[in-house]
Amino acid sequence: MPPEIHKPMIKTLRSSIFAGIAIGTAGFGFLASGVQAETYGSLVGAVLFSFGLLTVVGYKLRLYTGTAGFIKKNEVGTLFLILLGNIIGCFIASLLARVTPMAIQESAQKILELRLRTGAVRCGLLGIGCGFIMTTAVQFARQKQYLPLLFGVPLFIVCGFTHCVADAFYYLCVPASFWKAHAWEILGVYGCIVLGNLIGCNLYRIVLAKDQYQEI
């Protein structure tokens, strides 16, 4: 691979890994708030989760749901490189769940069990709602307007909308024994969430006429 192609790919991967770490850290806070509230999350945790997206926007990192709504047709490969990097970053952050004395793994498993009960198709449809919120929040944040971001992140969590990067963190926190028993179901649900997020992130392109929005 020519160096002029190789270097941008490495830069994108590094940025997306750090974005995954940021979202994973925010997800850890969400789960930790749930441990204290004796559930798998709390409203306080939903607000704290905004830290993840604020970090992504502040450092101009590459996040799947922050990029999918602005990607061009010839950049689809880059989008899935970003998702890979995000998942790697979430894995790094998930290592904290294995050393903390808090019941983070148990809380994460509750979320995953909920996803499996909900089913792949419905999780994908819920992902559309999250994608719409994320693209809207990022669009305003790029214009130095951060209130939609601060409200949007808690909104998608309270609504139960699915976010493929946050879910990657939750799934990677779950004990390996649960994965062995439900691997194919988990992958099916996750694939539908990724697709749902992609559709939701591009909802403005699907619904609005071109002269009603500004391409970035």
* Tens digits of residue pLDDT in 72-100: 888 999 999 999 999 999 999 999 999 99
Q: pTM of the predicted model, to two decimals?
A: 0.93
192 touches 128 (CB < 8 A): no
**Domain containing residue 125: CATH number:** 1.20.1080.10
Domain extent, residue 39, equals 3-212
Domain total in the chain: 1
End-to-end CA distance of the chain: 29
The predicted structure's pLDDT at residue 112: 96
Cα separation values, 126 from 13, 28, 141, 192, Å? 27, 22, 23, 10
Instruction: Provide the b/e sequence for 110-129 (b: ≥16 CB within 10 Å).
Output: bbbeebbebebeebbbbbbb
What digits encode the pLDDT tens for the residues 100-111? 999 999 999 999
Per-chain mean pLDDT for the chain = 91
